[in-house]
Structure 1
């Protein structure tokens, strides 16, 4: 068997395995329909865990860009001083008191806007990375798809050629038996079939 044909057969088997895995992982109910290239791309993009994680990272960065642009939460404090532990009565001692406090932290001028812009830039970079990885995945899938298509056509061509060579051998044998052909023609036809 030709080495290239053997490699093509192995590649076709890998493609069939990949297509089988994609089909098994698919949640579609139409199992009778053949998998189209567009459907395979959709499934590959939707079920790729790396792309899903990157999509979640983008969502997180967009939400974070909004939250870092806002002032920090104010702090509320409640306190009790010189409160007796035996009765917890505020009237037992004159120095007992309760305190309530509210404080707010103000960052330096421009810091919130700068952090928000930086987070938006990170989200944009992650979006570009997501688009690049999606395009790379689609490109690899299309290459594999074309390789599988080529391998399928090559196998069909080889089978057709085998059939033609077998018919050629039968025709040469028939001519030889009817004494209209030579034994050399029969041998040539058989050698051509064996070479194929």
Structure 2
């Protein structure tokens, strides 16, 4: 029997990969409890607060606003779209200009038997100029259409700004959650390591089996794997944010200020007046609807352009002929001048002009239906997000009113039971771990709520900073 007891530390060392120390004195029960009390205070100190103060929320919103300003200000795509719009306007001005006049120079009525310019009085050297004029108001309409297309491109600038703000907000909030999760996991790992040390002590005394120790060690390793995954995900999000914030942002400490909660003052004011239904008044100023309206205007311009084909196309030509031959009566033959007016007359319009106008009208009808469909899709998106937000808020309220207080009450009861020797250390650790897991679930709900608000802010232009106003800054790189 004595031999068996002496072999226990050696077996533990082999199984756990620890050096076996013969005759080691295990910690006393009082020493164990002193260590537990210390860990308990540390764990409680590491738990993140369930709600942030107004000042903290304001600071978080300021941080996010600064990030959005920087991301939009340094977005190359935004400047590229502005250049495209400027190019379209320049091409519109170019297309609204008359065609260049044509110059004609040559010899007319040259006799082929002698190829002489002086033998025949009809022979002359001709210099002529011709100019074509477009049908009706074609040039002005082409310019108007080009400017309308440029306006559509500039709406893409605003859409790009909203998309950047949405992406940056969601990534920033997710990064804040991962930091909360990192702190939470670290605390749980420390608790489990304390349990491992306590089990090792009891194992050395023969009170626990090696399976108990290995089981908790496996739980520690699993949490450490989650911690490594958490760090990897943080690095991935920071790399994604560097698309807008630049590579130098990766080496700064700005990511440490990330939070999964921000203040949505402007959005909350809009949401307080909204319910599931028709939200057209709220997002009628959205760039997507502006684009749809401008595409309708472009189709109306196309109809007007096709209608110009019913009008004739004019052209004039003026020529002067220098005759070198001698006249029989007056000496040198007089020079000649000529002038012409040309035009094409659209007489047979049933299979060309009429069909072209009808096609343009059909395209106008299609553009109007596309706008109605867009409104339905936007409304469905907003209603879906409102439903998600409502569900998330109800679940968050349940955590605040029931789950988290019940978890804290259970933890306090287990602590009292442990202090009175009616509960084990493992039960106390399990209660702490469960409480921390609930708090992490709560933080995930908070993150999802704020990310849903970021999605709503995209449709309602209600970010902590006015994104549309930021996109009007046409700074170049």
TM-score, normalised via structure 2 length = 0.26
Change in Cα spacing, 1:89 to 1:133, as seen in structure 2 (3 Å) is farther
CA offset digits 1:42-88 (Å, max 9, x no partner): 44x21x4xx5654343122110221223222211222245779xxx9
Residue 57 of structure 1 is matched in structure 2 by 84
What does residue range 1-196 of structure 1 map to in structure 2 within 5 Å? 37-38=67-68, 39-43=70-74, 45-46=75-76, 48=77, 51=78, 54-81=81-108, 97-164=124-191, 166-167=193-194, 185-189=424-428, 191=430
Report the CA distance shift for 1:155/1:64 in structure 2 as closer, same or farther (over 3 A): same
Structure 1: distance between partners of 2:147 and 2:116:
54
Shift of 1:93: 8.1
Residues 41/107 of structure 1: CA separation in 2 closer, same or farther (3 Å cut): closer
**Does the CA contact (< 8 Å) of 1:58 and 1:126 recur in 2?**
yes
> In 2 relative to 1, CA 122–129 (structure 1 residues): closer, same or farther, beyond 3 Å?
same
- In 1, Cα distance between the equivalents of 2:81 and 2:119? 62
41 and 117 in structure 1: CA distance in 2 versus 1, 3 angstrom threshold: closer
The aligned length equals 153
Gaps in structure 2 of 5+ consecutive residues:
1-65, 202-417, 438-477
Q: 1:172·1:185 contact (CA, 8 Å) conserved in 2?
A: no
Conserved 8 A contact 2:191-2:429: no
Separation (CA, whole Å) in 2 of partners of 1:79 and 1:142:
71
Conserved in 2, the CA contact under 8 Å of 1:77 and 1:101?
A: yes
Q: Distance in 2 between matches of 1:193 and 1:170?
A: 17
Change (3 A) 1:79 1:150: farther
CA contact (8 A) 1:169 1:186 kept: no
Which structure has the larger Rg over C-alpha atoms?
Answer: 2
Change (3 A) 1:80 1:144: farther
Q: CA RMSD in A?
A: 4.1
Task: For 1:92 and 1:153, locate their aligned partners in 2 and report how far apart those are by CA, in whole Å.
Answer: 104
Q: Deviations over 1:93-151 (max 9, x none)?
A: 87764322211112233222222112111111221122113311321222122212221
CA distance in 1, matches of 2:191, 2:149: 62
* Runs of 5+ unmatched residues, structure 1: 1-35, 175-179
State the distance in 2 between where 1:192 and 1:80 align: 108
Q: Distance in 2 between matches of 1:149 and 1:93?
A: 96
Q: Check conservation: 1:65, 1:115, Cα contact below 8 A.
A: yes
Q: Distance between the aligned counterparts of 1:71 and 1:184, measured in 2?
A: 95
Quick one: distance in 2 between partners of 1:157 and 1:167?
16
Structure 1 residues 146, 89: closer, same or farther in 2, change over 3 A? farther
Q: Which moved more, 1:145-154 or 1:181-190?
A: 181-190
